[in-house]
């Protein structure tokens, strides 16, 4: 005991203690450092923080009666409301100048799980992660979600999101019933096929508040993963085979944006059904975040390091060839490693959709639109993932008029006026190339596109606007997205 | 120089550190983002202070105390905190290093100070001065803690060479 006490008094021991503890603290400094989102008093932003706006107030949601009262009151007094889920949309979809923001996060209860019918009824502020936690023990899984589970049900349905599942159609198509609070403050129970429901899905929070939803579920299948490296020109054929092969449940691919193999190389990942179901594998959490972030940061440096990053991505994809994964876990990829906080710069997402059979020509067109080595450019493309989105016959602002391949693009650029202008020019050029092939672009992201490009990509915009006028004549529900694209 | 650094400056250091602490904490809170990290930054400060204290205590009585360097070192930490131009990414790591530096210097200084005959007189003056200065400061409206951190840092740095 005495020796113990005398050791603790030794300067070398104390120095060691400091070193150990400091290293441990440094390792645990959170990756997520960005401050964004809602604040009672000041500016509201969303995921990018690119469109800060002064709002009047944030009201945390409690229950349907409270929401009804707020909406009726706003309707009567000509006030504006925006609806916020987890605010991962990036184009000011969740707030409006001097308006009220309904923060839906508190309404996140799982109301009912029906094992026989394979459905779940949830409040709209619940995240996909919340639902997965409650259904995983029953061996059930969601039919369509994004690849990550960090979004709310209400937010995702309002943008009609999509993911890696190639068998279950659009997210909107998985909704059986919903409770909506209309702009007049009425509570309506809607069923699949009701026109109003069709407007709300993919309605960007402009047709009322989704309070709760009944979603169709499926079994928590076990998949085996298969990876394949290929040239971009071979992809169309490979993809058709994947779709025809009924065993393939999930599919996505990555296209190289590294200078040495720019838009030439790809790798594809198929998730094949094994026939097994699972109700015991726990849900996975975020893992190896630091390592993945380090790798992505290498890619962000551009040039040779980006080549190295691409090689390591391929290597990584080879490493899990043959592994198995449950459906629930396949639908909850890591997201923390994407964290990017360099002052004066921003990393944004864009997504372009092209008809499946135009993929090869489209990629060739992009080779002429984008610089292959962006190391010294302000506008940098870090990642392109390819997804399948089946033809959507549900929503009005539909991005998948046919079966489409979506290119999800991670882009970084500076935020001073000149850099913003340059980014806008580049993305408008990219959008133009996409429109040329009968494609569209995704609307939950920052609106670099012109109003004219929006109208050409979404010819149903007029019908959407008409319906908005009919359902919400006093414009109770608005947001910056509405202001940018749809307001006269 | 020896005289000043033993008679007056220790009082400036102890009073000044307590007065500047609220500003330093505001800065640290902004940098640390989560309470866990905030608490850990203080834990590392304490471990470092223990280390600094022992480092001075085990010295031979006649060896040099380097006390001027200790004052300037503390000054530099405060100037760095006030002036910090690191990207947001790096701030928590920089704060961690600062806490180690400041803790060590603080412990070392305290070990030296309590052995000085003036320590007891300082203790009383210290409490009175801190009280009066804090009341005074409560009337000053500031927009950023960094100005105070830099001013105090410069004062300490100069004290080292006074
Ligand atoms: C890193 C990242 C990855 C992504 N990956 C994909 C992907 O794989 N596939 C994909 O399709 N999309 C993807 N997205 C886009 C994402 O799906 C949308 O941004 C989605 O809206 C996010 O949900 P949220 O809860 O953050 O919604 P929010 O951003 O909060 O809201 C989105 C819209 O929904 C409305 N809304 C929110 N709650 C309600 C409600 N209860 N009632 C009515 N309207 C409501 C809002 O007003 C707003 O218009 C990704 C986004 C990010 C940032």
When scoring B39, B96, B98 by the number of chain A Cβ atoms within 10 A, the one with the most, hence best to mutate, is B96
pLDDT of amino acid B1: 45
What six digits make up the tokens of B27?
A: 């800065």
What's the start-to-end Cα distance of chain A, in Å?
81
Q: Does any ligand 1 atom lie closer than 6 A to the CB of residue A353? A: no
Residue range A318-333: mean pLDDT, rounded = 95
| pLDDT (tens digit per residue) in B80-98 | 888 877 666 677 888 899 9
Residue A179 phi, psi dihedral angles, 5° rounding: -105, 125
What six digits make up the tokens of B80?
A: 């760095």
The least confident of A22-36, A87-101, A275-289, A439-453 is: A22-36
Q: Does any ligand 1 atom lie closer than 6 A to the CB of residue A85? A: yes
pLDDT of amino acid A422: 97
The least confident of A134-138, A281-285, A409-413, B57-61 is: B57-61
On whether the CB atoms of residues B134 and B20 are closer than 8 A, the answer is no
> CA A215 to CA A176: how far, in whole Å?
6
The least confident of A38-42, A97-101, A180-184, A257-261 is: A38-42
What integer best gives the mean pLDDT of chain B? 84
Name A387's bridge partners: A406
> CA A264 to CA A192: how far, in whole Å?
43
Which residue among B93, B100, B104 places its CB closest to the CB of A29? B93
On whether the CB atoms of residues A99 and A77 are closer than 8 A, the answer is no
pLDDT at residue B37 above 80? yes
Residue with CA at minimum distance from ligand 1 atom 40? A154
What integer best gives the mean pLDDT of chain A? 92
Residue range A445-465: mean pLDDT, rounded = 96
pLDDT of amino acid B64: 75
pLDDT of amino acid A43: 61
> CA A147 to CA A339: how far, in whole Å?
16
CA of A201 to the centre of ligand 1 (A): 12
Which H, E and C letters describe chain A, residue by residue? CHHHHHHHCCHHHHHHHHHHHHHHHHHHCCCCCCCCCCCCCCEECCCCCCCCEECCEEEECCCHHHHHHHHHHHHHHCCCEEEECCCCCCCCCCCCCCCEEEEHHHCCCEEEEECCCCEEEEECCCEHHHHHHHHHHHCEEECCCCCCCCCEHHHHHHCCCCCCECCCCCCHHHEEEEEEECCCCCEEEEECCCHHHHHHCCCCCCCCEEEEEEEEEEECEEEEEEEEEEEHHHHHHHHHHHHHCCCEEEEEEEECCCHHHCCCEEEEEEEEEEEEECCCCCCCCCCCHHHHHHHHHHHHHCHHHHHHHHHHHHHHHHHCCCCEEEHHHHCCCCCHHHCCCCCCEEEEEEEEEEEHHHHHHHHHHHHHHCCCCCCCCCCEEEEEEEEEECCCCCCCCCCCCCCEEEEEEEEEEECCHHHHHHHHHHHHHHHHHHHHCCCEECCCCCCCCCHHHHHHHCCCHHHHHHHHHHHCCCCCECCHHHHHHCCC
Residue A368 phi, psi dihedral angles, 5° rounding: -90, -15
- Do the chains contact at B33 and A33, CB–CB below 8 Å? yes
The least confident of A225-239, A454-468, B145-159 is: B145-159
DSSP string for residues in B20-70? HHHHHHHHHHHHH-SHHHHHHHHHHHHHHHHHHHHHHHTS-TTS---HHHH
Q: Is the C-alpha dihedral spanning A417, A422, A426, A432 positive or negative?
A: positive
On whether the CB atoms of residues A222 and A230 are closer than 8 A, the answer is no
Please indicate whether residue A3 or residue A219 has the higher confidence score (pLDDT).
A219
Nearest-Cα residue of chain A relative to residue B32: A29
Q: Does any ligand 1 atom lie closer than 6 A to the CB of residue A480? A: no
- Do the chains contact at B37 and A33, CB–CB below 8 Å? no
ipTM of predicted assembly, 2 dp: 0.78
A362 Rama sector, left if φ>0, alpha if ψ -120 to 50, beta otherwise: alpha
On whether the CB atoms of residues A217 and A141 are closer than 8 A, the answer is yes
Neighbour tally for B30: CB within 10 Å: 12
Residue B65 phi, psi dihedral angles, 5° rounding: -90, -15
Q: Does any ligand 1 atom lie closer than 6 A to the CB of residue A93? A: yes
With cut-offs at 50, 70 and 90, classify the pLDDT of residue B62: low
Name A265's bridge partners: A231
What six digits make up the tokens of A314?
A: 């391929």
pLDDT at residue A287 above 80? no
With cut-offs at 50, 70 and 90, classify the pLDDT of residue A377: very high
pLDDT at residue A245 above 70? yes
Neighbour tally for B55: CB within 10 Å: 17
pLDDT of amino acid A190: 97
Pairing of strands A57-60, A100-103: parallel
pLDDT at residue B122 above 90? no
Residue A50 neighbours by CB under 8 Å, 6+ apart? A90, A346, A348, A415, A446
CA of A294 to the centre of ligand 1 (A): 27
Q: Does any ligand 1 atom lie closer than 6 A to the CB of residue A406? A: no
Q: Is the pTM for the entire model greater than 0.95? A: no
- Do the chains contact at B54 and A17, CB–CB below 8 Å? no
pLDDT at residue A130 above 90? yes
- Do the chains contact at A343 and B47, CB–CB below 8 Å? no
Number of Cβ pairs < 8 A linking chain A and chain B: 59
Angle at A267 between CA A265 and CA A272, to 5 degrees: 160
Which residue among B33, B51, B87 places its CB closest to the CB of A15? B51
pLDDT of amino acid A42: 52
Percent of chain A with pLDDT strictly greater than 90: 79
What's the start-to-end Cα distance of chain B, in Å?
6
On whether the CB atoms of residues A379 and A408 are closer than 8 A, the answer is no
pLDDT at residue A421 above 70? yes
pLDDT of amino acid B31: 74
Residue range A63-75: mean pLDDT, rounded = 97
pLDDT at residue A293 above 70? yes
| pLDDT (tens digit per residue) in A8-66 | 778 889 999 999 999 988 887 776 555 666 664 456 777 777 887 888 889 999 999 99
pLDDT at residue A150 above 60? yes
Nearest CA-CA partner of A269 in A289, A253, A291, A286:
A253
With cut-offs at 50, 70 and 90, classify the pLDDT of residue A433: very high
Q: Over the range A429-438, which residues count as b (16 or more CB within 10 Å of their CB) and which as e?
A: ebbebbbebb
pLDDT of amino acid A53: 80
pLDDT of amino acid A345: 84
Greatest mean pLDDT among A107-111, A161-165, A166-170 lies in: A107-111
- Measure A339 CA to nearest chain B CA, in Å: 10
């Amino acid at each position: 005991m005495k020796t113990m006490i005398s050791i603790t008094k030794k300067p070398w021991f104390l120095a060691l203690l400091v070193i150990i503890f400091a290293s441990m603290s440094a390792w645990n400094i959170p990756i997520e450092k960005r401050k964004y989102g809602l604040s009672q008093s000041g500016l509201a932003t969303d995921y990018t923080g690119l469109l800060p706006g002064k709002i009047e107030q944030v009201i945390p949601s409690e229950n349907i009666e409270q929401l009804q009262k707020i909406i009726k009151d706003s309707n009567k007094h000509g006030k504006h409301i925006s609806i916020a889920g987890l605010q991962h949309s990036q184009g000011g979809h969740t707030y409006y100048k001097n308006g009220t923001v309904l923060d839906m996060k508190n309404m996140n209860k799982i109301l009912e799980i029906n094992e026989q019918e394979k459905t779940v009824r949830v409040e709209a502020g619940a995240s996909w992660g919340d639902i997965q936690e409650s259904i995983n023990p029953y061996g059930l899984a969601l039919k369509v979600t994004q690849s990550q589970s960090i979004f709310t049900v209400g937010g995702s349905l309002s943008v009609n999101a999509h993911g890696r599942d190639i068998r279950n159609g659009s997210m909107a198509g998985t909704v059986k019933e919903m409770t909506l609070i209309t702009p007049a403050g009425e509570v309506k129970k809607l069923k699949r096929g009701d026109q109003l429901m069709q407007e709300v899905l993919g309605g960007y929070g402009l047709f009322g508040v989704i309070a709760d939803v009944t979603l169709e579920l499926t079994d928590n299948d076990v998949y085996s993963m298969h990876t394949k490296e290929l040239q971009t020109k071979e992809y169309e054929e490979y993809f058709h085979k994947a779709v025809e092969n009924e065993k393939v449940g999930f599919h996505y691919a990555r296209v190289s944006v590294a200078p040495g193999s720019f838009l030439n190389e790809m790798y594809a990942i198929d998730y094949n059904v094994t026939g097994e179901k699972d109700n015991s594998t726990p849900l996975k959490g975020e893992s190896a975040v630091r390592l993945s972030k380090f790798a992505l940061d290498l890619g962000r440096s551009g040039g040779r390091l980006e080549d190295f990053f691409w090689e390591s991505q391929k290597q990584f994809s080879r490493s899990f060839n043959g592994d198995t994964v449950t459906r629930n876990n396949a639908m909850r990829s890591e997201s923390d490693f994407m964290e990017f906080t360099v002052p004066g710069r921003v990393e944004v997402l864009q997504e372009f959709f092209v008809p499946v059979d135009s993929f090869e020509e489209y990629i060739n067109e992009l080779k002429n639109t984008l610089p292959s080595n962006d190391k010294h450019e302000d506008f940098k493309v870090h990642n392109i993932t390819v997804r399948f989105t089946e033809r959507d016959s549900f929503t009005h602002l539909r991005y998948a008029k046919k079966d489409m391949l979506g290119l999800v693009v991670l882009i970084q650029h500076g935020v001073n006026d000149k850099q913003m202008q340059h980014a806008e020019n580049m993305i408008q050029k990219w959008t133009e190339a996409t429109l040329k092939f009968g494609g569209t672009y995704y609307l939950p992201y920052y609106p670099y596109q012109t109003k004219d490009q929006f109208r050409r990509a979404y010819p149903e915009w007029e019908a959407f606007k008409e319906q908005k006028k009919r359902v919400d004549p006093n414009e109770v529900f608005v947001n910056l997205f509405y202001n940018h694209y749809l307001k006269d | 120089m020896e005289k000043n650094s033993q008679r007056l400056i220790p009082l400036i250091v102890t009073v000044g550190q307590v007065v500047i602490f609220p500003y330093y904490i505001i800065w640290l809170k902004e940098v640390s983002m989560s309470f866990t990290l905030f608490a850990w930054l203080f834990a590392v400060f304490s471990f470092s202070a223990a280390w600094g204290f022992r480092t001075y205590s085990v010295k031979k009585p006649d060896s040099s105390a380097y006390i001027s360097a200790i004052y300037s070192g503390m000054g530099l930490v405060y100037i760095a905190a006030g002036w910090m131009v690191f990207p947001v990414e790096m701030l928590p790591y920089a704060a961690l290093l600062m806490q180690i530096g400041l803790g060590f210097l603080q412990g070392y200084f305290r070990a030296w100070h309590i052995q000085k005959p003036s320590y007891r007189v300082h203790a009383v003056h210290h409490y009175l001065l801190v009280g009066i200065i804090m009341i005074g400061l409560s009337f000053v409206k500031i927009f950023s803690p960094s100005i105070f951190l830099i001013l105090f840092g410069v004062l300490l740095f100069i004290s080292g060479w006074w």
